């Protein structure tokens, strides 16, 4: 049992595709709500699986699901569009109306550049993380499959360093024209819209200060997110694994990477373990194969608290079934 999983305000649930992340995150969110912890369940998965799971539309705003439980599906597309609209408006205040069409063209191109969606998404994630321990006692992130999550989580550091670079850049007072030309061609991989914001930084005076404030605020947001993420008293990372070869391999790799970034991994849910009473020749063969992977999991994660969850006869959709799963992972709530 992972009894202390719901004692920190931030919980990230990660793992390979299809292992049961969304199910586990929802189960734990329900368990948190059952403990009267105001809980926000957040999905960063563009597939919008929370809506499917709870059988209702949720979308890009906090939506009440049950007592003490809210959900939010961050939409990277919408997020990037909103960000782009802000940047466009800001740049148009700095150029002659004659150049508006060119500003639009450049920024519409940037919308498609690698990194743009992730940057917009990450900024939103950072904002939602800020709500943990304030508006909500518990924020549970149902993340996209492992590789992406780990990369995303490692970005705040990069983003902060980047914004620092931009601040230095604008002090050298680059010309908007040359900045736009620079953006038009030869964009380096990983550029995001924050670079475009710096293109507007050619003016001095109050506008300059305003931009400086915007960049500084952005930087603080990412630094703060990173601090939260690395603070074992604030954040925990729960990994979900299935007892099969690919899932085990990927989870071992992900755990190593998280450790390298000093992200506190606090537990492991071994999901879809064949129940003892499942009978038949076919299942006996499967169970033998599974036993080897269960052993490997125990060996590789000997120091990590973990809980086994059986393969259930059907998909887990009903609230009661999800809550039962949550209790299996963190235990029943203490009597009132
Ligand atoms: N222990 C279990 N027993 C039976 N079915 C399960 C169990 N855990 C999860 N499932 C089912 O497996 C399917 C996939 O689970 P889920 O959507 O939680 O995975 P995921 O890791 O979020 O997938 P994705 O990577 O696509 O987001 C769902 O239909 C879910 O109901
Ligand atoms: Mg999912």
Tens digits of per-residue pLDDT, 225-282?
888 888 999 999 999 999 999 999 999 998 888 888 888 899 999 999 999 888 888 8
For the record, the structure tokens of 210 come out as 């305003």
Q: Which has the higher per-residue pLDDT, 214 or 250?
A: 250
For the record, the structure tokens of 208 come out as 């300059």
CA separation for the pair 196, 179 (Å, rounded):
8
Q: Is 271 in the pocket of ligand 1 (CB under 6 A)?
A: yes
Phi and psi torsions of 9, nearest 5°: -70, -20
Q: Residue range 67-90: average pLDDT?
A: 87
For residue 46, how many other CB atoms are within 10 A of its CB? 14
Q: Residue range 27-38: average pLDDT?
A: 96
**pLDDT above 70 (res 167):** no
Residue minimizing CA distance to atom 28 of ligand 1: 315
The pLDDT score that the predictor gives to residue 159 is 60
For the record, the structure tokens of 231 come out as 């603070």
CA separation for the pair 317, 322 (Å, rounded):
7
The pLDDT score that the predictor gives to residue 241 is 97
Q: Is 198 in the pocket of ligand 1 (CB under 6 A)?
A: no
Integer angstrom CA distances of residue 235 from 74, 125, 133: 19, 14, 11
For residue 146, how many other CB atoms are within 10 A of its CB? 25
CA separation for the pair 289, 286 (Å, rounded):
5
**pLDDT above 90 (res 130):** yes
Confidence of residue 201 (pLDDT cuts 50, 70, 90): very low
Beta strands per DSSP E along 50-131 = 63-66, 69-73
For the record, the structure tokens of 323 come out as 């809550």
CB contact set of 89 (below 8 Å; sequence gap of 6+): none
Cα of 35 vs centre of ligand 2, distance in Å, is 24
Instruction: Confirm if 15 and 247 have CB atoms less than 8 A apart.
Output: yes
Give 3-state DSSP helix, strand, coil % of the chain, rounded to 5: 55, 15, 30
Instruction: Confirm if 20 and 321 have CB atoms less than 8 A apart.
Output: no
Confidence of residue 156 (pLDDT cuts 50, 70, 90): low
Mean confidence (pLDDT) of the chain: 81
Cα of 17 vs centre of ligand 1, distance in Å, is 9
Q: Is 272 in the pocket of ligand 1 (CB under 6 A)?
A: yes
Starting from the CA of residue 17, give the closest ligand.
1
CA separation for the pair 124, 122 (Å, rounded):
5
DSSP state, 7? G
- Residue in 14, 25, 145, 316 to alter for ligand 1 test, most ligand atoms within 8 A of Cβ: 316
Q: Is 247 in the pocket of ligand 1 (CB under 6 A)?
A: no
The pLDDT score that the predictor gives to residue 157 is 59
**pLDDT above 50 (res 173):** no
Cα of 104 vs centre of ligand 1, distance in Å, is 42
Of the chain, the percentage scoring pLDDT greater than 90 comes to: 43
CB contact set of 236 (below 8 Å; sequence gap of 6+): 5, 8, 10, 11, 12, 264, 265, 266, 267
Cα of 316 vs centre of ligand 1, distance in Å, is 8
Ligand 2 (single-atom ion) residues, CB below 5 Å: 21-22, 49
CA separation for the pair 151, 155 (Å, rounded):
6
Confidence of residue 171 (pLDDT cuts 50, 70, 90): very low
Q: Is 242 in the pocket of ligand 1 (CB under 6 A)?
A: no
**Ligand 1 atom having least distance to the Cα of 316:** 31
- The size of the chain, in residues, is 336
Q: Is 333 in the pocket of ligand 1 (CB under 6 A)?
A: no
**pLDDT above 90 (res 184):** no
The closest of 229, 215, 31 to 125, measured between CA atoms, is 229
Starting from the CA of residue 26, give the closest ligand.
1
Confidence of residue 305 (pLDDT cuts 50, 70, 90): very high
For residue 256, how many other CB atoms are within 10 A of its CB? 12
Flag the least confident range among 3-12, 133-142, 177-186, 238-247: 177-186
Cα of 52 vs centre of ligand 2, distance in Å, is 10
The closest of 12, 11, 31, 14 to 321, measured between CA atoms, is 31
**pLDDT above 50 (res 194):** no
- pTM (two decimals): 0.84
- Residue in 14, 17, 23 to alter for ligand 1 test, most ligand atoms within 8 A of Cβ: 23
Beta strands per DSSP E along the chain = 10-15, 39-43, 63-66, 69-73, 138-142, 235-241, 265-273, 306-310
**pLDDT above 60 (res 186):** no
Q: Which has the higher per-residue pLDDT, 122 or 53?
A: 53
SS3 (DSSP) at 96: coil
CA separation for the pair 49, 46 (Å, rounded):
8
CA separation for the pair 169, 146 (Å, rounded):
34
Cα of 144 vs centre of ligand 2, distance in Å, is 7
Q: Is 274 in the pocket of ligand 1 (CB under 6 A)?
A: no
Q: Is 49 in the pocket of ligand 1 (CB under 6 A)?
A: yes
Q: Is 19 in the pocket of ligand 1 (CB under 6 A)?
A: yes
Q: Residue range 30-40: average pLDDT?
A: 96
- Residue in 12, 13, 20, 254 to alter for ligand 1 test, most ligand atoms within 8 A of Cβ: 20
Instruction: Confirm if 25 and 141 have CB atoms less than 8 A apart.
Output: yes
């Amino acid at each position: 049992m992972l009894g202390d999983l719901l004692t920190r305000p931030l919980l990230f649930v990660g793992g390979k595709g299809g292992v049961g992340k969304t199910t586990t995150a929802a189960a734990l969110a329900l368990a948190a709500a059952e403990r009267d912890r105001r809980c926000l369940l957040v999905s960063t998965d563009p597939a919008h699986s929370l809506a499917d799971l709870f059988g209702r539309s949720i979308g890009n705003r906090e939506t009440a699901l049950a007592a003490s439980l809210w959900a939010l599906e961050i939409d990277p597309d919408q997020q990037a569009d909103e960000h782009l609209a802000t940047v466009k408006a800001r740049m148009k205040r700095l150029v002659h109306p004659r150049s508006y069409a060119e500003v639009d063209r450049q920024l519409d191109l940037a919308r498609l550049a690698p990194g743009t969606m992730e940057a917009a998404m990450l900024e939103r994630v950072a904002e939602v993380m800020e709500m943990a321990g304030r508006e909500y006692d518990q924020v549970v992130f149902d993340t996209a499959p492992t590789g992406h999550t780990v990369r995303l989580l490692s970005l705040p550091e990069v983003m902060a360093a980047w914004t620092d670079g931009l601040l230095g850049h604008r002090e050298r007072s680059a010309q908007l024209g040359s900045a736009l030309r620079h953006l038009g061609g030869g964009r380096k991989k990983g550029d995001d819209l924050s670079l475009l914001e710096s293109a507007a930084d050619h003016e001095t005076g109050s506008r300059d200060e305003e931009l400086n404030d915007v960049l500084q605020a952005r930087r603080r947001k990412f630094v703060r997110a990173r601090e939260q993420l690395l603070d074992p008293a604030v954040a925990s990372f729960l990994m979900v694994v299935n007892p099969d070869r690919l899932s085990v391999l990927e989870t071992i790799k992900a755990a190593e990477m998280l450790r390298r970034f000093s992200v506190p991994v606090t537990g492991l849910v071994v999901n879809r373990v064949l129940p003892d009473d499942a009978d038949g020749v076919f299942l006996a063969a499967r169970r033998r194969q599974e036993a080897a992977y269960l052993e490997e999991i125990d060996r590789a994660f000997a120091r990590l608290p973990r809980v086994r969850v059986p393969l259930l006869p059907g998909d887990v959709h009903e609230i009661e079934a999800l809550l039962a799963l949550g209790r299996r992972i963190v235990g029943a709530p203490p009597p009132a």
